[in-house]
Amino acid sequence: MTTTVRIPDDWPATEDQARAVQDELRGRVVLGEPGPPPGTGHVTGVDVAYDDDRDLVAAAAVVLDAATLEVVAEATAVGRISFPYVPGLLAFREIPAVLAALGALPRPPGLVVCDGYGLAHPRRFGLASHLGVLTGLPTIGVAKNPFTFTHEPPAAPRGSSTPLLAGAEEVGRALRTRDGVKPVYVSVGHRVSLDNACAHTLALTPAHRQPETTRRADALCRRALAEATGAGEYAA
């Protein structure tokens, strides 16, 4: 079943308002907890898909058994896009839909894995951090590219990593999840250490570069968007 997204009345409408929210919430990020051990409990992937022409966003939340990586629950949400596209403020486009999908799950999500950034963000408050602060859940970001940050290439074997750097500050890690394949970019969101975030990422990538959480959520949100636009339910 797909939930309809409702945008909060006080949701930021301008870039200045969104940056003010980031400034307010950034201090609430918890960095001193290790987070749940990899391979235990549940781990949930969240992702979104857009149809900008129709002003639509679809979000998916897919819960996996962390030990077997089998799907144990999933939910989707579809609604209007809540914020314009602005680099560095993408969380404001995604969070209302992601929160609706998470809220529709029939069981607690456990660790949440975002297809994006946490501390590896120009304002140190990407989607994973924002979502973690709002929900209180442990969160990490696993991104496909390093955004504006630099890194040395990790060694070729799976599991190799190098710091993702903002000057001298380590904001995440470039992590090789497949031998000789382009790394992913892991950063802390909320209530998880960087070492543990990397360990979770490796546990979630037994066969592919991207975590199974992201792969499942990506496929599900694309399907939800296609069904919504095909049915015309949300057409303007």
Residues β-bridged to residue 47 = 60
* pLDDT, tens digit only, all 236 positions of the chain: 688 999 999 999 999 999 999 999 999 999 999 999 999 999 999 999 999 999 999 999 999 999 999 999 999 999 999 999 999 999 999 999 999 999 999 999 999 999 999 999 999 999 999 999 999 999 999 999 998 899 999 999 999 999 999 999 999 999 999 999 999 999 999 999 999 999 999 999 999 999 999 999 999 999 999 999 885 554 43
Sign of CA dihedral 44, 81, 119, 156: positive
- Boundaries of every domain in the chain: 2-6+28-229
Tokens of residue 32, six digits? 């001193």
Residue 236, token pair as written in the block: 């303007």
Do residues 114 and 139 touch, judged by C-beta distance below 8 A? Answer: yes
Q: Model pTM? A: 0.95
Whole-number Å distance between alpha carbons of 99 and 96: 5
Helix (H, G, I), strand (E, B) or coil at 143: strand
What does the alpha-carbon distance between residue 170 and residue 208 come to, in Å, rounded to a whole number?
A: 26
CATH fold for domain 2-6+28-229: archaeoglobus fulgidus dsm 4304 fold (3.30.2170)
Rounded CA-CA distance 67/73 in Å is 15
